[in-house]
A and B are shown apart, each in its own frame.
Chain A
Amino acid sequence: MAFAAFGSGSAKEHKSPTKSSRIVLALLMPGLVYLGLFFFTPLFSLVVTSLEAPAASGGIGEYEYGFQWQNYVEVVTTYMPQILRSFLYASIATIIALLVSYPLAYFIGVKLRTRPMLQRLMLVLVIAPFFISFLLRTIAWKQIFSDGGALMQFAYSTGLMDKSQHFLGTDAAVIFGLTYNFIPFMTLPLFTTLERFDVRLLEAGSDLYANPAAVFRKITLPLSMPGIISGTLLVFIPIAGDYVNAGQNFLGSSKTSMIGTIVDTEFLQTQNYPIASALSVMLMAVIVALVSLYVRSSGTEDLL
């Protein structure tokens, strides 16, 4: 399965002899040059743009380089709520996604080993959401949770919620949408790790006087770490940068704007490129710091 490759750790590796460096260059160069041009240059360009000042001519969207580090100060003071909200949403959604996915991945990866047909079917169902537009899926939730929908009508009629309350537009609705959209990115790496998990170790644990809870804590969980790490990164990072779920036309409101919302507005509408760039650079810096911290403390060198 293609998506199985999201997981970290590698299958059986074959050692191979060193061969001429010309072939290596021919194989690697095109891809690396491409990444250099269209991935690293844009990142560098973002850093440069983030330090620009409005041009003397003063037209909208016109800037020139000026080592304007104050841009960062402005970004932090003005957009602190959005920055905090983005990382808070991402943290909560990642934790929920992990709690929801782990038992599911365990069931598919370990319990269904004896039923390969069912295992494959469940796996297809896990990735099924990928095949339908995520915008439409989010809109579907929006309509399901709309005030006139059956769900809210039920909540109103039973008194669970007051008629003046809404679910759409709240923090909870946005977190719900984010969690839903990224659950497969958590389930798949967990599945790849658990699929390879040697269940005989569980028997060895219980043979050595560990009760089921201790077996889970001391054996299953530590050995699931590679999947937990890849899953957490694959969910946390895109959520921190997402702004579709939080958008007013989707599950959010003006009170749920995130970093991405601001970058979108500043870049595409206000054309305030330095501010948009400074926000992007900050987001990227925080994520790179988190990734390196996470990876160092958990010791997963092989990210790919």
Chain B
Amino acid sequence: MKRFSIGRLTLPAYSFLAMAFMLIPIVYTIVFSFNDSKQRTNTQWQGFTLDKWLGVCNKQEVCSALGNSIFIGVVSTLIATILGTALAIGLVRYKFKAKALVNLALFLPMATPEVVLGAGLAGLFFNAGVGAGMPTVIIAHVVFCLSFVVVTVKARVQTLDPVLEEAGRDLYANPSQVFWKITFPLLLPGIISAALLSFSLSFDDFIITYFNSGSVETFPKYVYVAAARGVPAEANVIASAVFLAAILIVLATQINGAFKRKRLAKK
């Protein structure tokens, strides 16, 4: 009686294969962080070792580049998140004539190739006589993170019912209490995802950084330059550690969210 069709299995099988394909270089990078490579290069498998993990900062340049990347990521995320959250609230909650124009102004940075923004900013700093360094990198990173923060927080603001704020006012809260006790906690999940997104964009950026960092070394920049001679296994260690930490955070929040949904669905 069952209409059996091979089609029912094709889609799941394809999807799992596609996922596996996407994960190949990740697995490769992690595996080679355990490679006991004696030379600079890390291309041939030479046996398992934990040495590179345990002594990752023996390669001093790698560790200091990582430190810079984290610093740049945190500072630019902080600035982008504050500016972007304000923009998102303003765009959803208020009516004004130039809204379409503001939306366009926020979309354009996302539609600008990195090389254009990188060269443009570098030219501006050059013309203004500002030397490239940590401040210029951070300024540049905020530009491309900002729009992504706005998009992410905006989605959250749109699902927020203004009646909740009216109810807060009705219950004797003044405007700042309404914001900190009602609006902000409800927006927090969106703000956190926006910040995580912003950090990962900043942390992994190469092209814009390359144009605007001068002598400041970041992790991607280190890898790019090292690629000419061969990337040491220590770089794989850093990338793998960052990956595992990020995936654990995301998995934890996602699984927690799925559990909550399930519990709600059962009620």
Query: A43 vs B91: C-alpha distance in the bound complex, in angstroms?
Result: 24
Asked if residues A2 and B193 are in contact (CB atoms below 8 Å), the reply is: yes
- Inter-subunit contact B119/A276 (CB<8 Å): yes
**What CA separation (Å) do A266 and B94 show in the bound complex?**
45
B127 within 8 A of A: yes
For the complex, give the distance between the alpha carbons of A106 and B10 in Å.
Answer: 13
- Bound CA span A291–B261, Å: 38
Q: Assuming the A-B contacts A28-B102, A42-B124, are A128 and B26 also in contact, with contact meaning beta carbons closer than 8 angstroms in the complex?
A: yes
Query: B144: nearest residue on chain A (CB-CB)?
Result: A39
A46 & B119 in contact (Cβ 8 Å cutoff): yes
A133 B223 Cβ-Cβ under 8 A: yes
Smallest Cβ-Cβ distance to B69: which chain A residue: A133
A38 to chain B, nearest CB (A): 5
Q: Are A27 and B227 in contact (CB under 8 A)?
A: no
With known contacts A46-B123, A267-B119, A304-B151, A237–B111 Cβ distance under 8 A? yes
* 22 A–B pairs (Cβ distance < 8 Å), ordered by A: A1-B254, A5-B148, A5-B193, A12-B158, A30-B83, A31-B86, A40-B105, A107-B12, A107-B15, A116-B262, A120-B254, A120-B257, A132-B243, A136-B223, A137-B25, A138-B25, A243-B207, A263-B116, A283-B116, A287-B113, A288-B111, A301-B100
Say whether A2 contacts B159, CB under 8 Å: no
**Residue B14 at the chain A interface, CB threshold 8 Å:** yes
Tell me, in angstroms, the Cα distance from A108 to B144 when the chains sit together: 29
The answer to whether B115 has its CB under 8 Å from any CB of chain A is: yes
Contact A123 B204 (CB under 8 A): no
Chain A residue at minimum C-beta to C-beta distance from B160:
A14
**SS of B interface (majority):** helix
Contact A27 B87 (CB under 8 A): yes
Q: B29, B111, B158, B239: which has the most chain A beta carbons within 10 Å?
A: B111
* B:98-127 near A, CB below 8 Å: 100, 102-117, 119-124, 126-127
User: Given that A135-B220, A144-B28 are known contacts, is A16 also in contact with B193, CB under 8 Å in the complex?
Assistant: no
A76 close to B (CB within 8 Å): no
What 1/0 mask marks residues of chain A from 93 to 122 whose CB sits below 8 Å from any chain B CB? 000000010011011100100001101111
Which A residues from 12 to 49 make CB contacts under 8 A with B?
Answer: 12-14, 16-19, 21, 23-24, 26-28, 30-32, 34-35, 38-43, 45-46, 49
Q: List residues of chain A with CB within 8 A of the CB of B119.
A: 46, 263, 267, 276-277, 280
CB distance from B135 to the nearest CB of A (A): 12
Give bound CA distance, A45 to B117, whole Å: 11
Distance in angstroms from B128 CB to nearest chain A CB is: 9
Q: Give the chain A neighbours of B86 by CB distance below 8 A.
A: 26-28, 30-31
Residues on the B chain within 8 Å of A247, using CB: 227
Q: Does B54 contact A (CB under 8 A)?
A: no
Minimum CB–CB distance for A22 against chain B, Å: 11
Contact B116 A32 (CB under 8 A): no
Q: Which of B26, B110, B123, B258 contacts A137 (CB 8 A)?
A: B26
Residues of chain A within 8 A (CB-CB) of B112 are 39, 43, 237, 284, 287
Q: Which residue of A lies closest to B244 (CB)?
A: A131
Contact size range, B: 35 or more
Complex Cα gap A34–B12 (Å): 46
| Residues B144-192 near A (CB distance < 8 A) | 146-148, 150-152, 154-155, 158-163
B-contacting residues, A200-218, CB 8 Å: none
B202 interfacial by beta-carbon distance below 8 Å:
no
Instruction: From the candidates B43, B120, B127, B206, name the one contacting A244 in the complex (CB within 8 A).
Output: B206
A86 to B200, CA, bound (A): 26
Taking the complex as formed, is B22 at the interface, i.e. its CB lies under 8 A from any CB of chain A? yes
Q: A35-B105, A104-B15, A284-B113 are in contact. Are A117 and B255 (CB under 8 A)?
A: yes
Cα distance, A130 to B240, chains bound together (Å): 12
Name the 5 nearest CB pairs between A and B, nearest first.
Answer: A241-B113, A42-B120, A27-B90, A2-B193, A140-B25
C-alpha gap A289/B135 in the complex (Å): 33
In the complex, the answer to whether A132 meets B11 with C-beta atoms within 8 Å is no
Most buried by B among A12, A107, A119, A243: A107
B2 within 8 A of A: no
CA–CA, A61 to B96, complex, Å? 45
